[in-house]
Amino acid sequence: MTEKPPVHDVSDDHLEVGEPREWAAGVPGVLHSMEPAIKQLGLARTVKLMTSLNQKDGFDCMSCAWPDPAHRKVAEFCENGAKAVTWEATPVLVPSSFWAEHSIDDLLDKSEYWLGMQGRLSKPVYKPADSEHYEEVSWERAFEVIGEKLNSLASPDDASFYTSGRTSNEAAFAYQLFVRAFGTNNLPDCSNMCHESTGTAMSEVVGIGKSTIAYDDFEKADLIIVMGQNPGTNHPRMLTALEDAKRNGAKIVAVNPLPEAGLRRYKNPQRVAGVLGRGTEMADQFVQIRLGGDMALLQAVSKRVLAAEAAAPGTVLDHDFIDEYCGGFDAFAEHIAAVDDDEVLLATGLSLAEIDELADRYIHSERVIITWAMGITQHRKAVDTIKEILNLLLLRGNIGRPGAGASPIRGHSNVQGDRTMGIWEQMSDTFLDALRDEFHFEPPRKHGVDALDGIKAMRDGDIKFWMGLGGNLVAAISDTQLAEKAMRGTEMTVQVSTKLNRSHAVVGAEALILPTMGRTEIDIQKAGPQFVSVEDTVCSVHGSHGQVPPVAADLLSEVAIVARLARATLADRVPVDWQSFEDDYDVIRDHISRVVPGFERYSERVRSRDGFVLPNGPRDSRTFTTASGRAEITVNHLEHVERPEGRLLLQTLRSHDQYNTTIYSLNDRYRGIKKGREVVFVNPADLADLGLVDGQRVDVITDWPDDVERALRGYRAVAYPTARGCAAAYFPEANVLVPLDSAALGSNTPVSKAVLVSVVASSD
């Protein structure tokens, strides 16, 4: 029997803290995957969905963007993928009576967990300006209200249109087309808050903001350096790729402030050794770096690479590659030679021996992959840090050959595809020209606002209408109190969602929620059954086919919602046949094939069971579409984060039982946390220095030069083996600590991984 939604909210009253795990997955991973699924979905629905998840004729997982191997296992999913499917595919519906029973203020008092557990949204709802309650409305009325508001704005730039990385290629392309036909480039997306730093750095250095490797490069690598990443929780299927690499002789180095279970030992539940034995030892070297020290570490390693070349000329650097494909080497070499090891040690918290060991591994490895995620991208100097990753790879020609390359690991299933489809406030003139030629209207050319600047524009009264195609922006973005106040200042908010979240309680004067189908559900339109497509983290595009009937008859697909909204708003202002978009998604794909390079014969090629791989100049042919036509080895000036005495550097992170802002439970078993989330992880020696003890209630207060108080109060201090001087707390709750003006240089990504804080005995 399906579990009923909770009536009462959860709390940390029964929080338990145990020892962190030394290994990931194993039989517990299977149990934690399947028990909730069977309880929530029933056995038959669970079997149907899980055996279709990430299969060639099935549906793509709606959580992370990890690629699928060429040869799929029967169970080609991870624990958190199973949780995501269970979350979306639940047959529990939010009842019609819910809206009268719960005001906006009541919803504000609820946790993310409670909101999500109320079930699937099935009917459009509208909150009028003079009411504190949502009420059910027809689809026609919902689109009419939105269209009237949009057409009443003084300028199209008074509106902002956000996108979640869950959105399919087809829906994303239709959405950006509608927004640009309406007249604005205000198209922020979740990538602004995560891998924007990656795209900025890589585009400048190698001419593309995407991974330069293929999936099978992992098994060909000699060395894999995993930086600022916790694959055991955030991309669990990556552990299998790393295990395969280890079995082929690769060495793995983990660079992170916290020791994470998945990079210590992996018990693969699909192998006998993973079930009955110890599993696979993962990281051969754990580099426990201080927050903000990655750039200094990379420069120190590059310095040692150059020194090794000087000691044995012609044996370390790939001179042929550098001479033929790269620019900027001489200036870089001069700059790196002057790197001060004492400054590096201060910035990293490491010893010279640890740095020398890593450098030696790199120098003596023929094929090297460096992977990274939010632990690299969410720093003030994130863009320069990623440039240093690329510098290190370029020195030995580790771009554009098997088993080597740069591998940013995207965090949401189609966040990369959405950008390819035009979801960006700064799309190139080449893209906009192609859009103009295909649809016979002139798209706006002025760049729009990203996620952070969009919140500032709301705060300043410049954004009056906000729409989200999926996502949970007010929870995901930094400076929670300021962001919520800004969102409440808008005249209308519209959100396309499958389930409730906090953003549905932090709304404009008028607010609408438009319920939509999920990836698991069969989508039938006038032309028959439809499918959508996505792009994974290594540029592979493939179809996703729903497997079960929608949980409610009134649900519309994301494509249908966008098409109907466009008709209600634009009428015949632009010559686009929106009805044909809704009727047959091949029509959208045919347009994409003529607008977006690499998508030629899209409708045909995506029907291949393996999909297709997009062109990638650095990977395929060592072609670099930079301003110079060469890969740019860059000079970046070191800046480490100062930490005054009595302060700590705090990072936000996920628990194991959450995905982005979605909270599946209050447990984080790999870190020893159960039945709670209000904890701050601090090194035991730092607790002692601060006059605190494990288990004590503390306040965490941001140190930032303004008069705004940003604090988490009454949190439990957890003695944890994080790097000295560093602390950690769960996202999204800890976003309240991250100032809106604290952003990465060049990418405007929130600096969520090096927040200067005081941790003091609680005043409560």
What CATH number is attached to the domain comprising 441?
Answer: 3.40.50.740
- Model confidence band, residue 725 (pLDDT cutoffs 50, 70, 90): very high
Q: Give, in order, the Cα–Cα distances in Å from 171 to each of 48, 180, 582, 678.
A: 25, 14, 10, 37
Q: Residue 66 pLDDT more than 90?
A: no
Q: Degrees (nearest 5) of the Cα angle 105, 106, 109? A: 90
Residue 741 CB burial class (10 angstroms; 0-12, 13-18, ≥19): middle
In this structure, what token pair is assigned to residue 609? 């069971």
Q: Are 237 and 77 in contact (CB under 8 A)?
A: yes
Closest CA to 249 of 358, 364, 391, 399: 364
- Summarize pLDDT for 139-198 with one digit per residue, the tens: 999 999 999 999 999 999 999 999 998 899 999 999 999 999 999 999 999 999 999 999
- Model confidence band, residue 607 (pLDDT cutoffs 50, 70, 90): very high
Instruction: Report if residue 429 sits inside a domain.
Output: no
* 344 and 460 assigned to the same domain: no
Instruction: Report if residue 68 sits inside a domain.
Output: yes
- Summarize pLDDT for 348-389 with one digit per residue, the tens: 999 999 999 999 999 999 999 999 999 999 999 999 999 999
* Beta-strand runs (E) in 116-190: 125-127, 135-136, 159-163
Closest CA to 595 of 204, 65, 172, 186: 172
Residue 343 CB burial class (10 angstroms; 0-12, 13-18, ≥19): middle
In this structure, the chain runs to a length of 764
Average pLDDT (205-230) is 97
Q: How many domains does the chain have?
A: 4
- Domain ranges, residue 41: 16-89
Backbone phi, psi, residue 520, to 5°: -75, -15
Instruction: Report if residue 302 sits inside a domain.
Output: yes
In this structure, what token pair is assigned to residue 31? 């149990």
pLDDT at 274: 64
CA Rg value for the chain: 25
The residue with greater pLDDT, 627 or 67, is 627
CA 651 from centroid of its chain's CA atoms: 16
* 233 and 284 assigned to the same domain: yes
pLDDT at 314: 96
CATH code for the domain of 755 = 2.40.40.20
Q: Which residues face 492 on adjacent strands? A: 465, 510
pLDDT at 570: 98
- Summarize pLDDT for 415-470 with one digit per residue, the tens: 899 999 999 999 999 999 999 999 999 999 999 999 999 999 999 999 999 999 99
Instruction: Report if residue 202 sits inside a domain.
Output: yes
pLDDT at 273: 62
**pTM, rounded to two decimals:** 0.96
* 305 and 345 assigned to the same domain: yes
Instruction: Please tell me the distance from the alpha carbon of residue 469 to that of residue 492, in angstroms, as a whole number.
Output: 15
pLDDT at 75: 72
Q: What is the mean pLDDT of the chain?
A: 95
- Summarize pLDDT for 547-567 with one digit per residue, the tens: 999 999 999 999 999 999 999
* 451 and 316 assigned to the same domain: no
- Model confidence band, residue 412 (pLDDT cutoffs 50, 70, 90): confident
Indicate the range of 67-71, 405-409, 706-710 predicted with least confidence: 67-71
Q: Are 9 and 111 in contact (CB under 8 A)?
A: yes
pLDDT at 77: 75
CATH code for the domain of 342 = 3.40.228.10
- Model confidence band, residue 275 (pLDDT cutoffs 50, 70, 90): low
pLDDT at 764: 72
Q: Are 179 and 364 in contact (CB under 8 A)?
A: no
Q: Which residues face 579 on adjacent strands? A: none
Instruction: Report if residue 523 sits inside a domain.
Output: no
Domain end (from 89, 115, 145):
89
- Summarize pLDDT for 237-273 with one digit per residue, the tens: 899 999 999 999 999 999 999 999 999 988 887 775 6
Domain end (from 39, 63, 89):
89
- Model confidence band, residue 57 (pLDDT cutoffs 50, 70, 90): confident
Indicate the range of 42-56, 442-456, 739-753 predicted with least confidence: 42-56
Q: Which residues face 286 on adjacent strands? A: 254
Instruction: Please tell me the distance from the alpha carbon of residue 125 to that of residue 114, in angstroms, as a whole number.
Output: 19
User: What crossing angle do the helices spanning 352-363 and 341-348 adopt, rounded to 10°?
Assistant: 100
* 680 and 738 assigned to the same domain: yes
pLDDT at 42: 86
Instruction: Please tell me the distance from the alpha carbon of residue 158 to that of residue 457, in angstroms, as a whole number.
Output: 9
* 224 and 343 assigned to the same domain: yes
Instruction: Please tell me the distance from the alpha carbon of residue 263 to that of residue 143, in angstroms, as a whole number.
Output: 48
First-to-last alpha carbon distance for the chain, in angstroms, is 42
In this structure, what token pair is assigned to residue 8? 């009462």
pLDDT at 228: 97
Instruction: Please tell me the distance from the alpha carbon of residue 416 to that of residue 30, in angstroms, as a whole number.
Output: 29
SS3 state at 19: coil
pLDDT at 24: 83
In this structure, what token pair is assigned to residue 225? 């350096």
* 165 and 212 assigned to the same domain: no
* 148 and 48 assigned to the same domain: no
Alpha helices in 153-285 (DSSP H): 169-182, 196-206, 231-234, 238-247, 272-276
* DSSP-derived secondary structure for 530-546: E-EEEE-TTSEEEEE--
Instruction: Report if residue 421 sits inside a domain.
Output: no
Instruction: Report if residue 423 sits inside a domain.
Output: no
Average pLDDT (713-742) is 98
Instruction: Please tell me the distance from the alpha carbon of residue 83 to that of residue 80, in angstroms, as a whole number.
Output: 5
Instruction: Please tell me the distance from the alpha carbon of residue 520 to that of residue 572, in angstroms, as a whole number.
Output: 34
pLDDT at 55: 87
* 219 and 131 assigned to the same domain: no
* 723 and 687 assigned to the same domain: yes
* 30 and 155 assigned to the same domain: no
Instruction: Report if residue 715 sits inside a domain.
Output: yes
Place of tokens 């990385």: 165
* 209 and 249 assigned to the same domain: yes
